[in-house]
């Protein structure tokens, strides 16, 4: 997305939180200086009789002719297995939101708590977000890697999770290029510092896909006002590479809350012309985290007590 369009993305429009019956929300971010489109509230019940779907190959986004609009929807920090071994009501409630939203689903890591085991994916993620597995492009989180080699995560998602020795990959949706990165655990499992294989792959992938608009997602936020984890300097080189190639959006999880930042450069300086807008969307179903009393610079919106998903409508040169 060129600087002239990028300067318009979101503008001064605030994120709209549409509260649902059980405290769940679709987080809609307005773009192009327009107000976000209204969504009908969808009831969400805390239980589900759905069963985990069988293993499937990597999803293939439906081709969009002429770079028409595409939908990308998702969150991180999702299915928290309780003492009963079943997913908590948060994951089922956000899965019900996905039931009513078409498009491609993403995850921003920590898909199945507490350790990303095969059983936790089958019992907790599977019956909830797993019913959208066939259209999901996942990212791994640090809890997924508490099982050695994140084997539960890779076995569950199969080819959709990319090369299992790397966990980073990319795909196209509509007119957008989308990049999925692996920052676990804070880049100690798969390195992401400057000059690392992942950072060099990212730069090559960006050069090979000079899309008008580019979005990346992973687990650990470069910037966060969260009280539990906060900002992660370890991912700075990834942010810098994306900034160097004029990427537009970054979505992360890790902090169990929602936060939206104004466009920034890799050093956290406000940059309305070509900065990247970062969202933290750790609202997929795990218990909530709070915020520091003083937010990080350029933080625009913070929500600490609501489960939800972020829905992005990706146009050929902008987004809502």
Least confident of 47-51, 65-69, 209-213, 268-272: 47-51
The span from the CA of 314 to the CA of 176, in Å, is: 7
- The residue to which tokens 């970054």 are assigned: 250
Percent of the chain with pLDDT over 70: 77
In three-state secondary structure terms, 21 is coil
Mean pLDDT of 14-41: 37
Strands (E), the chain: 16-19, 24-28, 70-75, 79-80, 104-107, 112-113, 136-137, 169-173, 176-180, 213-217, 249-252, 258-261, 277-281, 299-303, 307-314
- Residue 232: the pLDDT is 79
The span from the CA of 142 to the CA of 255, in Å, is: 12
pLDDT digits (tens, 9 = 90+) for 38-75: 222 222 333 333 333 344 455 655 444 444 799 999 99
Q: For the chain, give the mean pLDDT.
A: 82
How would residue 21 be classed by pLDDT, with cut points 50, 70 and 90?
very low
> How far, in whole angstroms, is CA 98 from its chain's centroid?
14
- Residue 320: the pLDDT is 95
The span from the CA of 258 to the CA of 279, in Å, is: 7
* pLDDT(33) > 80: no
* pLDDT(104) > 80: yes
Percent of the chain with pLDDT over 90: 68
63 C-beta neighbours (distance < 10 Å), count: 10
The span from the CA of 110 to the CA of 139, in Å, is: 8
pLDDT digits (tens, 9 = 90+) for 245-258: 999 999 999 899 99
Helices marked H in the chain:
3-6, 89-99, 118-120, 151-157, 197-208, 236-244
* pLDDT(125) > 60: yes
- Token readout for 8 is 């318009």
In three-state secondary structure terms, 293 is coil
The span from the CA of 174 to the CA of 309, in Å, is: 20
pTM of the model: 0.82
- Residue 64: the pLDDT is 42
Q: What is the DSSP letter of 9?
A: S
Mean pLDDT of 185-201: 92
In three-state secondary structure terms, 279 is strand
How would residue 27 be classed by pLDDT, with cut points 50, 70 and 90?
low
The span from the CA of 216 to the CA of 137, in Å, is: 12
Domains and CATH numbers, the chain: 3-35+60-314 (3.60.21.10)
* pLDDT(297) > 60: yes
DSSP string computed for 193-218: STTSHHHHHHHHHHHH---SEEEEE-
Pairing mode of beta strands 213-217, 176-180: parallel
Q: How far is residue 46 from each of residues 89, 90, 154, measured CA to CA in Å?
A: 4, 7, 27
Q: Order of strands across the sheet with 176-180? A: 169-173, 176-180, 213-217, 249-252, 277-281, 258-261, 299-303
- Residue 165: the pLDDT is 94
In three-state secondary structure terms, 108 is coil
Least confident of 7-16, 89-98, 176-185, 240-249: 7-16
């Amino acid at each position: 997305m060129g600087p002239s369009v990028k300067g318009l993305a979101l503008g001064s429009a605030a994120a709209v939180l549409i509260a649902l019956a059980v405290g769940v929300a679709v987080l809609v971010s307005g773009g192009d200086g327009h107000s976000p489109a209204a969504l009908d509230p969808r009831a969400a019940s805390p239980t589900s009789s759905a069963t985990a779907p069988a293993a499937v190959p990597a999803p293939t986004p439906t081709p969009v002719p002429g770079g028409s609009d595409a939908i990308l929807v998702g969150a991180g920090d999702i299915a928290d297995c309780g003492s009963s071994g079943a997913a908590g009501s948060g994951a089922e409630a956000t899965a019900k939101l996905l039931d009513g939203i078409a498009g491609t689903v993403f995850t921003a890591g920590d898909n199945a708590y507490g350790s990303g085991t095969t059983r936790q994916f089958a019992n907790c993620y599977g019956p909830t977000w797993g019913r959208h597995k066939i259209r999901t492009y996942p990212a791994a989180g640090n809890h997924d890697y508490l099982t050695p080699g994140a084997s539960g995560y890779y076995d569950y998602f199969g080819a959709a999770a990319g090369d299992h020795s790397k966990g980073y990959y990319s795909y196209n949706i509509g007119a957008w290029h989308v990049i999925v990165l692996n920052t676990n655990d804070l880049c100690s499992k798969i390195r992401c510092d400057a000059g690392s294989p992942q950072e060099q792959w990212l730069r090559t992938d960006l050069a090979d896909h000079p899309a008008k608009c580019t979005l990346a997602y992973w687990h650990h936020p470069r910037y966060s006002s969260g009280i539990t984890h906060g900002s992660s300097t370890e991912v700075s080189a990834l942010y810098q590479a994306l900034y160097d190639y004029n990427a537009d959006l970054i979505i992360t999880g890790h902090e169990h809350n929602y936060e939206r930042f104004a466009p920034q450069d890799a050093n956290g300086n406000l940059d309305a012309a070509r900065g990247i807008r970062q969202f933290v969307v750790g609202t997929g179903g795990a218990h909530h985290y709070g915020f520091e009393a003083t937010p990080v610079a350029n933080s625009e919106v913070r929500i600490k007590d609501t489960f939800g998903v972020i829905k992005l409508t990706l146009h050929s040169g902008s987004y809502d």
